[in-house]
Amino acid sequence: MRPLQGVRVLDLTRLLPGPFCSLMLADLGADVIKIEDLALGDYMRQSEPMVTATQSIQFMALNRNKRSLKLSLRPKEGKAVFARLVEQADVVLDGFRPGRLDKLGVGYAAMSALHPRIIYAAISGYGQDGPYRDRAGHDLNYLARAGVLDLFGARGGDPVVLPLQVADLTGAYLGAIGVLAAIIGRATSGRGQFVDISMMDGVLPWLPMVLPQFLHDRRRVQRGETALGGGMASYNVYRCADGEWLALGALEPQFWATFCKLIGREDLIDLRLATGAAAEPAFEALRALFRTKPRAEWLAFFGDADVCVDPVQTLAEAVEDPHLRARGMFADVAYPHGTVTQIATPIKLSGSPQPRLEPSPESGEHTEAILREAGYDDDALAELRAKKVIE
């Protein structure tokens, strides 16, 4: 039995943060019902590259193990359907701007009055209050406003746009944690609650090595000069003779000392934590040293020594990495047109089997089955179709 088996989630979200949150819950056994409107549904369905006429590769990756219900929340009949679904659910995921569901009459206040045990988790850019609550934004905006984007990049260089969505995915993880905390809390209180997740808020805790110091002394933090952000020679990347790169993470004294002895530069041992001008001799020595051999030779040279040296692998190399393969981090999901390889869940639980991966749903694929579970018969379904509440 999977740990969230028996938990039902009504997922009203689109694109990345909310669907990634519900993906984690679905992989852990929750019955996630993806509620899509009668028009476009989740925009990620049509995000290139397309695998089929109705699903992109990104949509497939984010929406496995879920069921899809097409429902219009605008007519009163649609609101009534949603209220009945809420009665049988544990969690509602909201990815709209603050107040949108309240305006539709299906927000937390209205639904919790009917069903006090329901949990609403809202993942938004700036949270449910504050001067930015109604601003539009994306991952880059949240990182920029939070002061995080300013720290990404080389010393003296421009800010760097990252290829991963830090704020979006942080919002997803925090949303899942908030949901699980609310479920545990409900076991004692008997009541659900509203979980307010701001993606801008969420990126600040990623700076525990930088922000507390700034709050203490208010000294400007320069891009590329923080201890773990490019400022130390013992924790950096180096180009090899063949143009490939190595990552050196010899932070602890024993790792750095072993590394320095292996390369014959014991004179650098005292520069382990040096930053700024004091670190330049170590930087100059290591940059020159690593350029003398290709990456493969350096990896063979260090072998199994405890020096924290690893190759900066391309994605092509990483997906074939024997450790990731041994950990089962890639899985094939069977679709009618063939198999699609996806990232497997990184959560390993000793008492639960690895989840069986079901393909992402077609839009509205499970509408009738879900509504029949909620007690709607043939006549009621026909009436909802006639009124364009469902398809």
Active site residue ranges: 138, 168
With H, G, I as helix, E, B as strand and everything else as coil, classify residue 197. strand
DSSP-derived letter for residue 36 is E
Instruction: Look up tokens 């579970």; give the residue.
Output: 373
With H, G, I as helix, E, B as strand and everything else as coil, classify residue 247. strand
What size, in residues, is the chain? 391
Cis omega (within 30 of 0) for bond into 163: no
Closest CA to 292 of 312, 321, 257, 264: 264
Q: How many CB atoms lie within 10 A of CB 36?
A: 20
With H, G, I as helix, E, B as strand and everything else as coil, classify residue 341. strand
The radius of gyration of the chain's CA atoms, rounded to the nearest angstrom, is 25
Q: Give CA–CA dist 18/36, Å, rounded.
A: 13
Q: Give CA–CA dist 11/69, Å, rounded.
A: 10
With H, G, I as helix, E, B as strand and everything else as coil, classify residue 118. coil
- Angstrom distances, CA of residue 373 to CA of 61, 199, 226, 333: 27, 35, 56, 26
- Angstrom distances, CA of residue 142 to CA of 126, 172, 297, 355: 8, 14, 42, 33
Sign of the torsion formed by the C-alpha atoms of 149, 152, 158 and 163: negative
What are the φ and ψ backbone dihedral angles of 54, each rounded to 5 degrees? -120, -5
